[in-house]
Amino acid sequence: MSFCVLIIAVACSSLQGSQRLERAASGDTRRSRFRTATIGPAIFTASSHLALIAGASRLVSPHDHVLEIGSQLGEVTRCLADKASSVHGVDMERELQGKSGRTASFRSHSSPEEAGLTGVRFTLLDPWDTRALLQATGADEEPTFAVIDLNQIVGNDLPLEALALARQLGKTFPSLTNVIIKSGALDKLQRQLTTLPELRAEKGRAPPPSWLPRIVATRGVADYRAAALEMMGAWAAEGRQGVRVLEVGCHTGTSTAMMHARALAGGGDGYAVGVDVSHSIIERAAGLHPEVRRFGVADAWDVCALQKAMPEGESPHLLLLDVGGVSSSHGVLDALALVRLVCSTFKGTLEAVVVKSHGLHAAARALKPVGWGGATEREGS
């Protein structure tokens, strides 16, 4: 009898471990009281080391189990240990500061005990290795809070990689409610991102500086067109004339024609141009909307073709993106990469980008600066 019980106990233990690994591999989306079903954990951005410490001091609670990615067993780890129930620090295998006689910005201690820290576990592993991370994390202490300093891992501020890691952690650990990412580039991005309700109400975030294009993330054609018209209406109210619009992924040209009519109504020599990757679709768009100044064939990722689509020497003030592959809930990283590409291509004139993307819309709702209010989803967005 005892032998049978032992077999059953071992089998149950193995099954639980396998289920945790399968859940992470499959991106388990089961609903949990710990996470928002649609956007996952709230992601707070910190532009500096001091902002990261300030955000952690404000957001981490005594009940939190914290996973610190890029742990240097320094000020941040000490702050987390003082605030949280437990801290699990993760770092890559590296040469410690000062051990070779060279000055480095990385940690100088090999263990929490050596750094004088209590209540901290420390593991050396690749944070992208989900299996290793799960095995290093106790089932009874799954993280509720994560802190990511990717610069300490890869040596550069890589916002897309940091966001991808945060999404991976959110799927791996359904218990995760909040993430703080130290990234100046991602902090700048969250200042640019907004949604249609926020745009209409002008609340939720301060407008980005004039030299940063505003990025409006929308869901569905109606919101996509409404956001573009909202931007053009705001410019018209300021007396702006001659607004130039480029729609990438125009399909049969309905949205492009709407923007063209609005640009003409605003006065001056404003106009809209539409491009799509299909020759036959562009021919159809030109036939349906002969009033539009120009339709052209161009791939969204071909910056030379996008520049040639505009009249010589001119660039758009407003750019609309409705491109397959970035519109779904899984296309957020591709959408961000494409937005960065077009912003760089038309730097100097581009003032706003409207994107139809469920994933980017979710990111706009999830991303918050650490200096703002509570760790809750913004209402009505």
Residue 371 lies in a domain: no
8 domain residue, yes or no = no
- For residues 128 and 196, membership in a common domain is answered with no
Domain that holds residue 256: 191-366
Whether the CB-CB separation of 24 and 47 falls below 8 Å is answered with no
Q: For the chain, what is the domain count?
A: 2
Which CATH number goes with the domain that contains 90?
Answer: 3.40.50.150
Domain boundary residue among 159, 182, 205?
182
157-205 tens-digit pLDDT: 888 899 999 989 999 999 999 999 999 989 988 889 999 998 888 744 5
Asked if residues 244 and 314 have their Cβ atoms less than 8 Å apart, the reply is: yes
103-127 pLDDT, tens digit each: 445 677 889 999 999 989 999 999 9
Residues 131 and 198 in one domain: no
Angle, in degrees to the nearest 10, between helices 184-192 and 159-172: 90
- The answer on 219 and 178 residing in a single domain is no
pLDDT for the residue 93: 82
Tell whether 4 is covered by a domain.
no
Among all chains, which residue has been given the structure tokens 């991005």? 189
Domain-located, residue 197:
yes
E-strand spans in 302-344? 318-321
Question: Which residues have a Cβ under 8 Å from the Cβ of 35 and sit 6 or more positions away?
Answer: 41, 170, 174, 175, 176, 177
- The domain boundary residue, chosen from 149, 182, 215: 182
pLDDT attached to residue 25: 45
Closest CA to 170 of 362, 371, 381: 362
pLDDT in tens, the chain (381 residues): 444 443 334 344 444 444 444 444 444 433 333 333 345 799 999 999 999 999 999 999 999 999 999 999 999 999 999 999 999 999 988 765 554 444 445 677 889 999 999 989 999 999 999 999 999 987 777 899 999 998 888 888 888 899 999 989 999 999 999 999 999 989 988 889 999 998 888 744 555 666 789 999 999 999 999 999 999 998 998 888 999 999 999 999 999 999 999 999 987 899 999 999 999 999 999 999 999 989 999 999 999 999 999 998 899 999 999 987 676 667 788 899 999 999 999 998 999 999 999 989 988 988 988 864 444 433 444
Would you say how long the chain is, in residues?
381
- The pLDDT, as a whole number, for residue 326 is 73
DSSP tag of 209: P
Q: Are residues 206 and 295 in the same domain?
A: yes
On whether residue 374 sits in a domain, the answer given is no
Structural domain ending residue among the three candidates 135, 150, 182: 182
- Clarify whether residues 148 and 200 are in a common domain: no
- pLDDT score of 110: 86
Residue 5 in domain: no
pLDDT value for 310: 95
Mean pLDDT, the chain, integer = 83
**Has residue 109 been placed in a domain?**
yes
CA–CA separation, 182 and 164 (whole Å): 14
Pair (174, 240) in one structural domain: no
Residues 149 and 219 placed together within one structural domain of the fold: no
Residues ≥6 apart with Cβ < 8 Å to 8? none
Q: What is the pTM of this model?
A: 0.76
What tokens were used for 279? 């020759």
User: Do residue 119 and residue 175 come from a single domain?
Assistant: yes
pLDDT at residue number 329? 63
Q: Is residue 378 part of a domain?
A: no
Instruction: Kindly state whether residues 155 and 219 are assigned to the same domain.
Output: no
pLDDT of residue 96: 59
Together in a domain, 164 and 120: yes
Structure tokens at 56: 């952690």
> According to the model, what pLDDT value does residue 370 have?
87
Q: 25 with 61, same domain? A: yes
Residues 256 and 305 in one domain: yes
DSSP string, 76-96: HHHHHHHHSSEEEEEE---PP
